[in-house]
Structure 1
């Protein structure tokens, strides 16, 4: 059974999802691809240990701290390619950004390919089922374009500002390019 609960945050209402005592989803209200990796309907359950642990993590994060993601048992649902991309997202340092192209090079290396499409990486980043904790908000387009955040560009900026990221060379695109 897949369970859910909600968490009120500075960036809006967040829905958490679990399966077998592991976090499988964290979505911002109105986020694209909301719960698209969950095969069943979610049943509300507000007092599971994984939810309490995740809410504590989120409290620390929104207090401006840098909690370790290693403390959370997570099991994002996705194929090998997406899992590889999401693992790389977990390695992006707090308060830093990386481009889709840089991730594509890392994915190609790890999957022993000669190259990898930045657009394919963008699709995997956009379908990240555990937003914020698996920090897809730290990914930017070439030349500092704040593109492609399924939770919305304004929320991406809020999260980066919270982390103290240097936004000087980043800009908002004229049209939305979210995957």
Structure 2
């Protein structure tokens, strides 16, 4: 990932562990869990300006807190609108290739509380035979949670991979009350998640 060194960064605590936030002049450009695959190297991070009071990074942190707060109730709708746990932030996806950006934009169309298969995602961007390449692009998503790659599952409804770890993926889907898609269900049909508790999130 070729990211200019003069951008602003900050860290923020979440129930699923600390995240690294990155902002460019165009918008939020990165949100990585600690230890996730494709996390920026320490050398790259050291080149960025640590700016915890940056307005965009502070707003991103505030919206993350609201996303994870299971007790917000009506206040969640006030923050995020009628659709629930969604984000209202300017995004910069320019670090990816044209193909990666197409996949990442398609991820933004998966509604809260729903899942989508890699096959359906490939069809959505007009590349039905590029399922493996779509999967690789999903894995390279630089904006975890905000660009919801955790909502992509296998054709059989399995969780498959997640750069931030399957425990986190399971926790995020439970938080959003999303069931895993079964083979006989449509790729955007609302489903339910496993009942077992997930570390880092209190049961609803």
Corresponding residue for residue 153 of structure 2? 140
CA RMSD in angstroms comes to 2.1
Corresponding residue for residue 31 of structure 1? 36
By how many angstroms is 1:116 displaced? 3.1
Matches within 5 A, 1:1-179: 1-20=6-25, 22-35=27-40, 41-64=47-70, 65=76, 66-69=84-87, 71-76=88-93, 77-108=95-126, 115-167=128-180, 169=182
Aligned partners of 1:141 and 1:162: how far apart in 2?
19
In structure 1, stretches of 5+ residues that fail to align are: 172-179
By how many angstroms is 1:7 displaced? 0.8
**Contact persistence 2:68–2:175 (CA under 8 A):** yes
Return the TM-score normalized by structure 2.
Answer: 0.74
**Contact persistence 2:150–2:162 (CA under 8 A):** yes
By how many angstroms is 1:57 displaced? 1.1
Corresponding residue for residue 201 of structure 2? none
Q: Computing the radius of gyration over CA atoms, which structure comes out larger, 1 or 2?
A: 2
The ranges of structure 1 where at least 4 consecutive aligned residues each deviate by more than 3 angstroms after the TM superposition are: 167-171
Return the TM-score normalized by structure 1.
Answer: 0.84
Corresponding residue for residue 174 of structure 1? none
Query: Which structure has more strand as a fraction of its residues?
Result: 1
By how many angstroms is 1:141 displaced? 0.9
In structure 2, stretches of 5+ residues that fail to align are: 1-5, 71-75, 77-83, 183-192, 195-204
Superimposed CA distance per residue, residues 22-54 of structure 1 (whole angstroms, 9 cap, x where no aligned partner): 110000010100137xx7732211100111110
Superimposed CA distance per residue, residues 65-102 of structure 1 (whole angstroms, 9 cap, x where no aligned partner): 43433x20110221111111011100000011100000
**Contact persistence 2:26–2:92 (CA under 8 A):** no
By how many angstroms is 1:56 displaced? 1.3
By how many angstroms is 1:167 displaced? 4.1
**Contact persistence 1:21–1:50 (CA under 8 A):** no
